[in-house]
Structure 1
Amino acid sequence: MTTTPVTPMSGTTIQSDIFCELVDQVLIGVGRQSLGTTYKQIITVGPGDRVLQILAGAGSGKTEMLVWRVLYELMVLGTDASRVIVTTFTRKAATELAIRTVERSDALLERARKRGLDLADPHVHDLRIGTLHSLCDALLAEFDAEYMSAGTEVIDEIETRVRLARDYRLIFTQDQSSVMNLIDRLLAREELVALFRPPWDAGSWPRNTVQKMDFIQMILGQHTETWLPRCGPTHTPNGIEAKCPGVTNDLVELQQRWEQYLDDNNILDFATIQHRFHLRQGDILGHVDHVFVDEFQDMNPIQLSIHLGWLSREETRLTVVGDDDQALYRFRGSDITCFTGLETNCLNANISYRREKLEQNWRSTKSIIGFAGAFRKATVLSKLSMKKKIRAPKTAPLGDPPRLLEGSWTSLCDHIASEIDALGAGRIPDGRLIAPSVAILLFSTSEKEGRRGGTAALDLRRAFERKGLRVYNPRNKTAARKGSPFYSLTALLSYLIDPVICAPAGNGGRDIMVWASCNDPTMAAFAPVEPPSFNVTPAHAKIQKAYRGSTQGIKRPDPAVEPLLAYLDQIRSDLVIATMAHQEGAGLAPRLTLSGVVARLLAFPQFRGVGFSPALFREALFTQFLEANIAPTRRTRFSLDQPLAPTCNSAGKVSWPDEIWNFLGLFGALISETDLDDVEDDTFADDAISLLTFHQAKGLEFDHVYVGLTGRQPAPHSVLRTKLFSGERPIYYVADGQARSGESAVLRHALADYEREIYVALTRAKQRLTIIHDPNDQRPMCGLNHALDALYEGLPVYPLIGGIAERRWQS
């Protein structure tokens, strides 16, 4: 390579052309291609640049390009690293980006010094890299005195749900005697509820407390992130107003009451922290020179307003990277028009705008790239997507043609397991050969058995495990299933606090099951525990009874359960004696907590045998599912960390504090009313077959990819929510509890959202791509996407062992 002669410098920036030469050397040194003209043009920040939008196709190296663009800002323009913001979609992506930036910076500095350039250290550790929520929190804490003095902290989605479940009556009910409070009014608006009801749920959703909290969270998020930035300033009514007069005012009141509750507790949730930051952004503008945004296609309207807000300062620049064909998160409130309409926003504000494209896919073989392109061309994406061509570089191998495997699902599972076994994947390596990475991508990977038997994902797991293969599925949805350690431990905690017994409380003194929180005073009077002072969801007792057995089982528990129950009886009795003695000044207060009880139970063989440790259970169950330990406030862990202090009332009944009953009610409801993800620690993913949803696979890549369950029906719900909460009035109606629309624009965008999911799945493959389909499987989502079907129509069929038929795609 020819290099430009330079004069040694001391602690300075470097010229643009020298920077690009050094970048080429670093890239070649790590086995990548040199920049080339197009990539150099993208990296370079011109004197008139304000906004650069990089349209980056799948596998085009957008992360690498983003890193070099950031380093150009530091090393060529000399911008202080603390004045540069880089936002990403997930914490994991932020960590990977930070690591890549450090690695590339160090490598470039080393190359520069070998050429005699004393290039100034860019202090990349001072870059502000993170999710938008975390950056909003950090910037407000640093530059907003009111925010900092209040000690405001951000809570995550799980703690938000727990707080809503615990306090929603207090937050949203002005008059406790009112016939129709705020939540009831919103739940009575069928045209509103139908927009948020899961498309596959034809029942009376929301059916329980947890589902009500999901509904409240979703409408709060959509209102805060869409309506407030788009309609709030002009007081434009929500589009639902045409069907539900007064709903706009109710939603405004809902958000205001929730925000007041957050303020009163010095906390903010993910949606509100963005809204709060947008309101106070003006105080921070002077501290930021360049903002980089990854995955810009997944922005929601409040996030777009924040990023456009940076440009109100003339010196600030904005660089965004994304691919509209990979926009998957409309169901979480994102809106693809934030990405596709950026140029229009800039032109309307008289802000200079430049668009560049990354159109070479460096990830996949030519056959896979051609197949993904043919799929895109055969779908509505070809009409709605921004113009770009995804090409394979000349050096890319041709590779095997993407294939379609068809047969019974059971046969497909066995066939795939045999293929993967032959590859050597799914096993701990023996040191002789590195196995290829393999992923099975399905629209749904739930392994929860229902009335109709197992799920597609569960059938696959069983086939793999028969071969002795390791499987990693972070979304099993089986944690609440009877027989799981979670379920059993919930039952045991329920027994400790509120044991179910048989007592003569039935008609004519007949023995029936009773417990203190049964919400029937006549029955509760027979319980050995004093009833709580408020109604407690009976879910925990249902779990306890199912764990212990029928009425006969309650009287005569399974021999394996008896030692556990006797142990908890002894703990309860000892705690009461110790607490009462301490209150009378005759001893120390008990120190045992609920966490300690769990740790002791896990020492029993029933739990030790499944590999659960106290640390794993506490971290994964009590934090992820309920206690939200990862939230900075840690407030909902109160019941876990406080010593248990039951007393005995005058009637000789055990009496528990209110927070214990509150814990039991919430925890039981979560276990019984929510499809909980299993705890799949990240270490389980090592050397395992990845079983992932289309959404989970985004941003990942694998040598071999199998794609199934591509036949779900497009649903207009998310598109309608975007439009209605933006003040538009698309035509829709409610049938069988579901939102329906015949409006062509709504249906077209709903179809595009569905086809983007499949496109993302196809583009994860590097070496081999396989579509799997059972033509006779009538389970929801198990069909074959129409465009995939058309790509294989008429191609030769090759019979394989086990009744499997194979077709190979031809370009």
Structure 2
Amino acid sequence: MISLLNYFLAIQKAFNNELPLDLDQQAAVEHTFTEPLWIIAGPGTGKTHTLVWLVLKRILVDSVPADRIVLTTFTRKAATELRSRLLRAKQQLVSSGLREAEEIDVTQVFLGTLHSLCARILRDQRYEPTLRIRVLADERVQEYFLRRTRNPILDINDVTFWARFRLARYQGGQTYLPSRAKRAEGGCILFNRITENGADLNAMRTSGDPHFALLADAYEQYQQNLQQDLRTDQATLQRHFLTFLQSPEGQTWLGNGMSVVVDEYQDTNPVQEEIYFALTGGLPDFTVVGDDDQSLYRFRGATVESLIDFDRACLDYIGIAPRAVYLRENRRSHNGIVEWVNRFIQHHPSMIELNPLIRVRAPGKPALVARSPINGAYQPVQIITRSRDSQVGAEVSTVIQDLLNAGYITDYSQVALLTFSTSESNWAIGAYIDALDNAGIPYINPRSKAAQNDTALLEILGALSSILDPIRRFSNTWTLPDGTTFTLPGRLVSYIQEATNAFQQRIATGSFPDLEVYINDSITTVSGTPFDPSNPYLLQAGGQRTTISSLFFKLIAHSPYSDAILDPAHGERLKVINQLLAEYESLYDEGAIKVEQALSGQTQTETWSLYNLYAVFAESYHDGLNDSEDEDVSIVPGCVNVMTIHQSKGLQFEVVFIIKPENTPFLGTAHVLEDQLAPYINRPTQPLLRRSIQLRVEEDIVRLFFVGYSRAKRLLILAGTNLARWDTILGRDVHGQPINNQASLIGLNVNFL
């Protein structure tokens, strides 16, 4: 143990005799934990930097063992960054001559996402109820599970049920039932929110509301299926962990409680809040760090109240109010950009609430203070607006090229195009992508949901269909051997037909005889395999079961697909399909191909297996695949970054374009569920009052664009059409007057290009 003074002296020595902490950061690091610590950290204020020195102080000064500290953050990427910075900071202390720093092992800190820590601790403690359980890796696998187990929610044909939760299909002013795939997606959203909020199923059943009675029954069936299959989803895993913490085994492991530090606390959901307070063991050794103005994940169940009302939660759980520390020195952006984001968030009418019982922002929150070395007497906020997207896109491309040519940027990767949706369709940013292409400006848009249109991927799906379904049984209506009838959407049938035709056209060129021989031999193998009812699988020569993956890998070993692997774009997309296939196979017979005897006497792929291949795997293939996106490598040198504002969180760029600001979030399932589930939730920190649903939608819009604006270091450019529709994303001036025309923007020192 060392004194706080010696700790600060060692840090100072490591940084050329300058303490790399401002007064707010020092106040956070010095905290004594007689009460919880509530750090509100605005963009660019060094929250990760502060967390690192706080954790090391807890170990070196406060003598908290490293293996009694839980440090969580929202993403794997952020956890990796925290880990590397902890190790680097420790080494800096060692290099400064602090002998005590050599003796600590920061790798013993429980550091990671909460999901990963729950899984790790439950496994390490060999907690019996979860000992043999496999985790459904993500939402897509969860959807596959609902479909494989034929959850009753998939058969709810009451359109008012789906419309109630904003999960119906809307087109041309009409409301339609969602497809089976969309029902699975919606079911997972509903089930996860029930789990995360600990909703009372009995209350749902006895409410007299038929929709909630149906939902409660479907959820209970889902949980029973999880138990029977020894599976869990991510939300249920956290419920298991909370149960563990409350069990005798968990209490033994917990001891007097852990020292808990949570990053990005504004993205916490209700069950996570319960877990964090349980981990403290009722003691005030609890630090939360976050920014309510950057809360973007309501659609994943996060509740911004977790951060805004942290003081109330502390009083509820441990009876001690926290100490609030505000990090306000922004060291990222030009002072003109800091002025822009301050004005936007502080004076926006959607962020002002007169009811003292309802909070929209953290209480007492000060404005950001510009401390960046970036300065200059230019206009750092600019606007491009034209009558058509194609004109705006062309101007954006010209500005990017001019910035590079003039040396204001040295690489395209210093530029980001941020938008609400990165779909390359006409209604979204298609015209902007076309403009970049026309200007020869390289870009990366990994979330465009366009991978399924890749020629190689389309042909590979057609090749798999040709092998497993040579007589082309795909159609709209399927009748299974037990008499059950299912329907494939017409768009999916057309897509499979398109894929099969694309592959047949490739074969018809005659340029790939080896591939043609492989396909024909495979078809013959399937039909010529003797059918054995006791082992109804397609077997290899050695008796092993043939899997879809094995067919996939043999296909891509043949030209032209073997050549596609060498191309970076195609190769990355083939990785996406491989991952999707692995997820599918994890739930469907491990990918083994089941067979049956046709009326002709030949062997064919089993009808139910073939239906699932089309209805589950091919439909997820069709409905918008994102390109591969490595969490650890967000920026690609030489390429302009095209990304959603959600993706950009945690990043910064020399130049940021906000593209099509007239496209904003809208009322969705997350907003509706907050109100609909409220009567069935009994947790102590459930808000007694909430703002109207429309105001909550507007809050989300403001927070989204606040995040987008604050990514910019030197230059922020808003680019789109129809300036009259930008009222919400421009906000008000400091006098509360609307900013909705060119004159009012020029008055704010905004330049029009």
Normalized against structure 1, the TM-score is what? 0.78
Write out per-residue CA displacement over residues 592-650 of structure 1, whole angstroms, 9 at most, x where no aligned residue: 64334333433333673585689755531132x35328xxxx7237554x4x6868667
CA separation in 1, counterparts of 2:505 and 2:167?
44
Letter in structure 1 aligned against 2:330: N
For 1:356-435, what aligned pairs fall within 5 Å after superposition? 356-379=325-348, 380-383=350-353, 384-386=360-362, 387-393=365-371, 395-398=373-376, 400-401=378-379, 402-407=381-386, 408-424=388-404
Write out per-residue CA displacement over residues 122-181 of structure 1, whole angstroms, 9 at most, x where no aligned residue: 211111111111111112222353145434545322211111122124xx4xxxxxxxxx
In the other structure, the counterpart of 1:739 is none
The reply to whether residue 18 of structure 1 matches residue 3 of structure 2 is: no
In the other structure, the counterpart of 2:118 is 136
Residues 397, 436 of structure 2: 8 Å contact kept: yes
The reply to whether residue 622 of structure 1 matches residue 578 of structure 2 is: yes
Note the C-alpha offset of 1:377: 2.9
For 1:658-669, what aligned pairs fall within 5 Å after superposition? 659=609, 661-669=611-619
Residues 469, 605 of structure 2: 8 Å contact kept: no
CA separation in 2, counterparts of 1:460 and 1:186?
40
In the other structure, the counterpart of 1:279 is 243
Write out per-residue CA displacement over residues 60-80 of structure 1, whole angstroms, 9 at most, x where no aligned residue: 111111111111111111211
The reply to whether residue 94 of structure 1 matches residue 79 of structure 2 is: yes
In the other structure, the counterpart of 1:509 is none
Residues 259, 280 of structure 2: 8 Å contact kept: no
In the other structure, the counterpart of 2:494 is 542
Letter in structure 1 aligned against 2:127: A
For 1:572-587, what aligned pairs fall within 5 Å after superposition? 572-577=523-528
Would the alpha carbon gap of residues 343 and 561 (structure 1) be closer, same or farther in structure 2, given more than 3 Å must change?
farther
Write out per-residue CA displacement over residues 449-499 of structure 1, whole angstroms, 9 at most, x where no aligned residue: 4xxxx3442222222222332211121112333x63332221221121112
Residues 538, 594 of structure 2: 8 Å contact kept: no
SS of aligned partner of 2:369: coil
Note the C-alpha offset of 1:188: 5.0
CA separation in 2, counterparts of 1:584 and 1:98?
47
Q: Aligned match of 2:31 in 39, 45, 55? A: 45
In the other structure, the counterpart of 2:55 is 70
Would the alpha carbon gap of residues 59 and 587 (structure 1) be closer, same or farther in structure 2, given more than 3 Å must change?
closer
List gaps (5 residues or longer) in structure 1: 1-12, 173-181, 501-513, 522-529, 730-742, 799-805
For 1:711-730, what aligned pairs fall within 5 Å after superposition? 711-712=662-663, 715-717=666-668, 718-727=670-679
Residues 296, 339 of structure 1: 8 Å contact kept: yes
In the other structure, the counterpart of 2:743 is 794
Would the alpha carbon gap of residues 538 and 570 (structure 1) be closer, same or farther in structure 2, given more than 3 Å must change?
farther
Note the C-alpha offset of 1:193: 3.4
Residues 579, 647 of structure 1: 8 Å contact kept: no
Residues 444, 640 of structure 2: 8 Å contact kept: yes
In the other structure, the counterpart of 1:441 is 418
Would the alpha carbon gap of residues 209 and 584 (structure 1) be closer, same or farther in structure 2, given more than 3 Å must change?
closer
In the other structure, the counterpart of 2:620 is 670
CA separation in 2, counterparts of 1:586 and 1:476?
39
Note the C-alpha offset of 1:26: 3.5
The reply to whether residue 499 of structure 1 matches residue 470 of structure 2 is: yes
Note the C-alpha offset of 1:224: 1.3
Note the C-alpha offset of 1:536: 6.4
Q: Aligned match of 1:569 in 520, 542, 546? A: 520
CA separation in 2, counterparts of 1:201 and 1:374?
39
The reply to whether residue 651 of structure 1 matches residue 600 of structure 2 is: yes
CA separation in 2, counterparts of 1:409 and 1:345?
47
In the other structure, the counterpart of 1:785 is 729
CA separation in 2, counterparts of 1:18 and 1:684?
39
Letter in structure 1 aligned against 2:731: A
* Greater Cα shift, 785-794 or 318-327: 785-794
CA separation in 1, counterparts of 2:680 and 2:700?
19
Letter in structure 2 aligned against 1:73: R
Q: Aligned match of 1:705 in 656, 674, 685? A: 656
Normalized against structure 2, the TM-score is what? 0.83
Note the C-alpha offset of 1:808: 1.6
The reply to whether residue 254 of structure 1 matches residue 208 of structure 2 is: no
Would the alpha carbon gap of residues 433 and 755 (structure 1) be closer, same or farther in structure 2, given more than 3 Å must change?
closer
CA separation in 2, counterparts of 1:584 and 1:338?
53
Q: Aligned match of 2:429 in 457, 477, 482? A: 457
Letter in structure 1 aligned against 2:60: M
CA separation in 2, counterparts of 1:545 and 1:695?
35
The structure whose Rg is larger is: 1
Would the alpha carbon gap of residues 119 and 561 (structure 1) be closer, same or farther in structure 2, given more than 3 Å must change?
closer
CA separation in 2, counterparts of 1:251 and 1:796?
49
Residues 621, 679 of structure 1: 8 Å contact kept: no
CA separation in 2, counterparts of 1:490 and 1:761?
38
Would the alpha carbon gap of residues 516 and 797 (structure 1) be closer, same or farther in structure 2, given more than 3 Å must change?
closer
The reply to whether residue 808 of structure 1 matches residue 751 of structure 2 is: yes
Residues 707, 772 of structure 1: 8 Å contact kept: yes
Would the alpha carbon gap of residues 639 and 517 (structure 1) be closer, same or farther in structure 2, given more than 3 Å must change?
farther
Letter in structure 1 aligned against 2:521: Q
CA separation in 2, counterparts of 1:477 and 1:587?
39
Residues 298, 328 of structure 1: 8 Å contact kept: yes
Q: Aligned match of 1:190 in 156, 161, 173? A: 161
CA separation in 2, counterparts of 1:411 and 1:435?
21
Q: Aligned match of 2:189 in 195, 199, 218? A: 218
In the other structure, the counterpart of 1:263 is 227
Residues 418, 656 of structure 2: 8 Å contact kept: yes
List gaps (5 residues or longer) in structure 2: 354-359, 682-689, 733-737
In the other structure, the counterpart of 2:701 is 754
Would the alpha carbon gap of residues 517 and 205 (structure 1) be closer, same or farther in structure 2, given more than 3 Å must change?
closer
Would the alpha carbon gap of residues 187 and 627 (structure 1) be closer, same or farther in structure 2, given more than 3 Å must change?
farther
Letter in structure 2 aligned against 1:720: V
Residues 697, 764 of structure 1: 8 Å contact kept: yes
Letter in structure 2 aligned against 1:163: F
Letter in structure 1 aligned against 2:497: K
In the other structure, the counterpart of 1:608 is 563
Write out per-residue CA displacement over residues 296-325 of structure 1, whole angstroms, 9 at most, x where no aligned residue: 1111111112222234433x6110001110
Would the alpha carbon gap of residues 488 and 622 (structure 1) be closer, same or farther in structure 2, given more than 3 Å must change?
same
Note the C-alpha offset of 1:266: 1.7
Would the alpha carbon gap of residues 561 and 499 (structure 1) be closer, same or farther in structure 2, given more than 3 Å must change?
farther
Residues 418, 708 of structure 2: 8 Å contact kept: yes
Would the alpha carbon gap of residues 68 and 166 (structure 1) be closer, same or farther in structure 2, given more than 3 Å must change?
same
Write out per-residue CA displacement over residues 731-784 of structure 1, whole angstroms, 9 at most, x where no aligned residue: xxxxxxxxxxxx96332222111111111000000111101022289xxx9997
SS of aligned partner of 1:307: helix
Residues 315, 321 of structure 2: 8 Å contact kept: yes
SS of aligned partner of 1:687: coil
Residues 403, 771 of structure 1: 8 Å contact kept: yes
Residues 444, 709 of structure 1: 8 Å contact kept: no
Q: Aligned match of 1:332 in 293, 300, 306? A: 300
CA separation in 2, counterparts of 1:684 and 1:464?
18
Would the alpha carbon gap of residues 226 and 561 (structure 1) be closer, same or farther in structure 2, given more than 3 Å must change?
farther
CA separation in 1, counterparts of 2:680 and 2:129?
35
In the other structure, the counterpart of 1:504 is none
SS of aligned partner of 1:280: helix
Would the alpha carbon gap of residues 807 and 253 (structure 1) be closer, same or farther in structure 2, given more than 3 Å must change?
same
CA separation in 1, counterparts of 2:539 and 2:367?
80
The reply to whether residue 35 of structure 1 matches residue 15 of structure 2 is: no
CA separation in 1, counterparts of 2:473 and 2:615?
13
Residues 312, 321 of structure 2: 8 Å contact kept: no
In the other structure, the counterpart of 1:690 is 641
Residues 225, 302 of structure 1: 8 Å contact kept: yes
